[in-house]
Amino acid sequence: MTEAPLLTRYVRKEPPRPPFWRRHGLKIAAAAAPVLLLTLATILGASLSLPLGQPNPAHNDPKMTWLRGAYGVPTLGPEGDDQRGEILAAAVDADLDFIVTVDKDRARASSSPAPSLTVLPAAERDVGPGNLLFLGDDALADPALFPGDRQTRRPFAVASHPNTLDVDWDLRALDPTMSANIDARIADSFERFGLDILNARQQPQDERVFPFLAYAWASWMWLFNERHALLLFYDRPQEIIALWDNMSKPADLPIVGLCAADTSALGLPHPLTLDAIGTYVVLDAPPPDNPDARRRAILDAITRGNTYCALDLLARAQGFSFTATITGQKHQMGSRLDLDGEALFEIVAPEIPGVDARISLFRDGTLHALRAGRRASVTVSTPGVYRVEVDLNVDKPASGDTWITWLYSNPIILTRPSQDRAAP
C-alpha cells in the first residue's frame, strides 16, 4: 500500500457545518415567541364572552326591590357639547332604572324619555381640596347651590374622582368646627358624605408602570372583544379603597362608597360605559309609581348607603344583600347599630352559572372573614365598620389575574351603646 504524503496526513479537516435550524433556531424562536403569545392571548381574550351570563336571583322576597342605575354621568362631552339627550336615550336602551346626571356648578333637571327611567340631577363644584358632587333636591338648581331658607333638604356631598387629586381627602376636615378653610355654608349643609371608590373615567387613567403598553394592548383587544378590552383597566382601586376605609374607621362620619359611570371615559360610546359599572339601590318596598316619590326613594337609599356597586362588564348584580341581625331585627347596608352582644352578618350574592365566587368580609379595612361560594354567615362581637367584596373566578388574559373583584357593598357600622355618635 502506498503511504499518503506527509502533508495530507497532518492537514486538519473542517468539521461538517451544522444544519440551519441549529444555527438560527434560537433567534427564530425569540422572534416568534411574542407573536405566538400575542396570538394566544388574543384568542383567549376574544373567547371570553362578557357579560358572563344572566345571574340567578338571590332572593324571592316580594318586599325587597333592587334598582339598577348609573351614578355620576356628566352631561357634557369631551368637546364641551351637551350630550344629555344621547345619554338618557342610552340609559333607556341599557334598561337602567335611574341615572344621576352631573352638571358643572349647578344641577339641571332633565325630563325622562321613558317612564321606566328616573333622572336625578346633581352638581359638581371645585371646593379647594378637590371636586365635590352635590346630590339633593331640585333646590340645588339654584346657581348658589345653597339657597338658605328656601332649601328644604340637606344635600348629599360626594368627593369626586379622588384618585386624580394631589392631596389626600379627609372629609372630616370639611367640618367648620375643625377647619376654617371651607365655606361654612357648604359644610353645614351636608347630610352625609360619599366617596367615588371607582370611577369609569379616571380608573383607566391611573398611573401605571407601562401606561402606553396598557393602552396599546387594550386598543388591540378592542378589535376582538370590546368588553374585555375595557375590563383590562378595571383593577381593584387599592389606594381609593384604603382611603375609604381610613376615613370610615372612626365611625363618626358615615361615608357612602359610590361608583361613577362617567361616559367621557376614553371617548367610548354611551351604551358601553353606562353598562360597565352599575350602581344598585335596595328598597324595602316596591318603588312608588309617582315620579317625584320614586326619585325621593332612590335619593334616600343612596344617601343612607342602602346601595352597592358592581362591575357590570362581568355580570349584572341584582339581588345582592348584606344584612346584620341583632336581637332578632335585620338591618340593611348603611345601617349604624348599637352592638351589645353579637351580630349575625348574612351575605348573599347572585349566582352566575359556571362561575365560582368568593365573599370577603372586611372590618375597618382589614380582612375579617373569607368564604367560598355565594352565601356566607358570620357572627361578630366586635364593633367596627364592616363591608363586603365579592370576587369572581375569571381568567383575565395578559394580566395574570384569576379572581376579579366584581362587587363592593356599603358598610354596616357597629358601635358600643356608650359611644357618642352623630345621627345617621
- pLDDT tens figures, 205-248: 544 444 556 666 666 666 667 777 777 777 788 888 888 888 78
pLDDT at 421 over 90: no
Going by pLDDT thresholds of 50, 70 and 90, the confidence category of residue 126 is confident
Phi, psi of 196 (to 5 degrees): -70, 105
**pLDDT at position 278, please?**
92
Question: DSSP secondary structure string, 364-393?
Answer: TTEEEEEEESSEEEEEE-S-EEEEEEEEEE
Going by pLDDT thresholds of 50, 70 and 90, the confidence category of residue 297 is very high
Fold of the domain spanning 65-318: TIM Barrel (3.20.20)
SS3 128: coil
| Strands 336-338, 343-348: pairing kind | unpaired
pLDDT at 337 over 80: yes
- The C-alpha atoms of residue 393 and residue 138 are separated, in whole angstroms, by 43
Rounded to the nearest integer, the mean pLDDT of the chain is 75
**pLDDT at position 167, please?**
44
pLDDT at 77 over 50: yes
| Tens-place pLDDT, residues 298-312 | 998 998 999 999 998
pLDDT at 151 over 60: no
Sign of CA dihedral 253, 259, 261, 267: positive
Task: Give this prediction's pTM.
Answer: 0.79
C-alpha cell at 245: 376605609
pLDDT at 32 over 60: yes
pLDDT at 73 over 70: yes
Residues 6+ apart with CB under 8 A from 344: 324, 325, 326, 377, 378, 379
Residue that wins the pLDDT comparison between 409 and 125: 409
Residues 6+ apart with CB under 8 A from 317: 55, 278, 280, 308, 310, 349, 350, 406, 407
- The C-alpha atoms of residue 333 and residue 309 are separated, in whole angstroms, by 12
**pLDDT at position 309, please?**
94
**pLDDT at position 199, please?**
78
**pLDDT at position 63, please?**
72
Residue that wins the pLDDT comparison between 384 and 174: 384
**pLDDT at position 108, please?**
78
pLDDT at 389 over 90: yes
Residues 6+ apart with CB under 8 A from 352: 52, 53, 55, 56, 315, 392
| Tens-place pLDDT, residues 262-285 | 766 556 778 888 888 899 999 988
Which of 190, 192, 123 lies closest to 160, judged by CA?
123
**pLDDT at position 207, please?**
43
When pLDDT is averaged across residues 119-129 and rounded to a whole number, the result is 78
Domain borders along the chain are: 17-47, 65-318
Report the 10 Å Cβ neighbour count for 191: 16
When pLDDT is averaged across residues 121-149 and rounded to a whole number, the result is 61
- Note the Cα 184 to chain centre separation in Å: 31
What is the identity of the amino acid at 279?
Answer: T
pLDDT at 321 over 90: yes
C-alpha cell at 136: 339633593
Q: 266-277 burial by CB neighbour count: b if 16+ within 10 A, else e?
A: bebebbbbbbbb
Going by pLDDT thresholds of 50, 70 and 90, the confidence category of residue 147 is very low
- The C-alpha atoms of residue 233 and residue 235 are separated, in whole angstroms, by 6
**pLDDT at position 150, please?**
40
Contact 235, 175 (CB under 8 A): no
| Strands 131-135, 118-126: pairing kind | antiparallel
Hey, what's the torsion of the CAs at 131, 137, 142, 146, to 10 degrees? -60
pLDDT at 407 over 90: yes
When pLDDT is averaged across residues 138-146 and rounded to a whole number, the result is 42
Percentage of the chain modeled with pLDDT above 90: 27
Which of 62, 83, 94, 120 lies closest to 278, judged by CA?
94
Percentage of the chain modeled with pLDDT above 70: 60
Contact 196, 240 (CB under 8 A): yes
pLDDT at 99 over 90: yes
**pLDDT at position 20, please?**
59
Range list of H helices, 83-154:
84-93
Phi, psi of 171 (to 5 degrees): -65, -25
**pLDDT at position 190, please?**
57
- The C-alpha atoms of residue 105 and residue 99 are separated, in whole angstroms, by 18
